[in-house]
Structure 1
Amino acid sequence: MRRLIAPALLAATALVSAARAAEPAHAPVSSVSRASITHYRTATVDGVTVFYREAGPQDAPVVLLLHGFPTSSHMFRNLIPLLADRYRVIAPDYPGFGQSDAPGHEAFAYTFAHYAEIVDGLLGQLGATRYAMYVMDYGAPVGYRLALKHPERVSALVVQNGNAYEEGLKEFWDPIKAYWAEPSDGNREALAVLVRPETTKFQYVDGVADVSRIDPDNWVHDQALLDRPGNKDIQLDLFRDYGSNVPLYPAFQAFFRERRPPTLIVWGKNDKIFPAEGAHPYRRDLPDAEMHLFDTGHFALEDKLDEMGPLIRGFLDRTLAQR
Structure 2
Amino acid sequence: MAASTYRTADVDGFKIFYREAGPKDAPTLLLLHGFPSAGHMFRDLIPRLADRFHLVAPDLPGFGQSDMPAREKFAYTFDHIAGVIDRFTEVIGLKRFAIYVFDYGAPTGFRIAAKHPERITAIISQNGNAYEVGLSEGWTPIRAYWEDASQKNREALRAFLKPETTVWQYTHGVADATMVSPDGYSLDNYYLSRPGADEIQLDLFGDYKSNVALYPTFQSYFRTHKPPFLAVWGRNDPFFLPPGAEAFMRDIPNATVRFFDAGHFALETHAAEIAAAIRDFLPH
TM-score, shorter chain, exceeding 0.5: yes
Matches within 5 A, 1:232-251: 232-251=198-217
SS at structure 2 position matched to 1:245: helix
Separation (CA, whole Å) in 1 of partners of 2:39 and 2:279? 18
**Higher Cα Rg, which structure:** 1
Alignment correspondent of 1:166: 132
Alignment correspondent of 1:154: 120
- Write the letter of the residue equivalent to 2:128: G
TM-score for the superposition, normalised by structure 2:
0.98
Separation (CA, whole Å) in 1 of partners of 2:72 and 2:195? 13
Separation (CA, whole Å) in 2 of partners of 1:111 and 1:126? 23
1:38 partnered with 2:23: no
1:288 partnered with 2:259: no
Alignment correspondent of 1:59: 25
Kept in 2, the 8 Å contact 1:82–1:313? The answer is no
Deviations, residues 80-100 of structure 1 (Å, cap 9, x unaligned): 111111211110001111111
1:315 partnered with 2:242: no
Q: Which has the higher contact order (CA 8 A, sep 6+)?
A: 2
List structure 1 runs of 4+ shifted beyond 6 angstroms.
Answer: none
Separation (CA, whole Å) in 1 of partners of 2:39 and 2:199? 21
Alignment correspondent of 2:92: 126
Matches within 5 A, 1:40-119: 40-119=6-85
C-alpha displacement of 1:122: 0.9
Alignment correspondent of 2:191: 225
Percentage of matched positions with identical amino acids? 56
1:305 partnered with 2:263: no
Separation (CA, whole Å) in 2 of partners of 1:68 and 1:262? 22
Separation (CA, whole Å) in 2 of partners of 1:146 and 1:293? 26
C-alpha displacement of 1:306: 2.3
C-alpha displacement of 1:46: 3.3
C-alpha displacement of 1:153: 0.7
Aligned length: 284
1:199 partnered with 2:161: no
Separation (CA, whole Å) in 1 of partners of 2:155 and 2:248? 33
Query: What's the Cα RMSD here?
Result: 0.9
Alignment correspondent of 2:109: 143
Separation (CA, whole Å) in 1 of partners of 2:94 and 2:117? 14
Separation (CA, whole Å) in 1 of partners of 2:171 and 2:271? 15
Deviations, residues 46-72 of structure 1 (Å, cap 9, x unaligned): 322110001111122110000011100
- Write the letter of the residue equivalent to 1:136: F
Larger displacement relative to structure 2 (307-316 or 266-275): 307-316
Separation (CA, whole Å) in 2 of partners of 1:136 and 1:127? 23
Unaligned runs of 5+ in 2: none
Alignment correspondent of 1:17: none
Separation (CA, whole Å) in 1 of partners of 2:134 and 2:12? 33
SS at structure 2 position matched to 1:204: helix
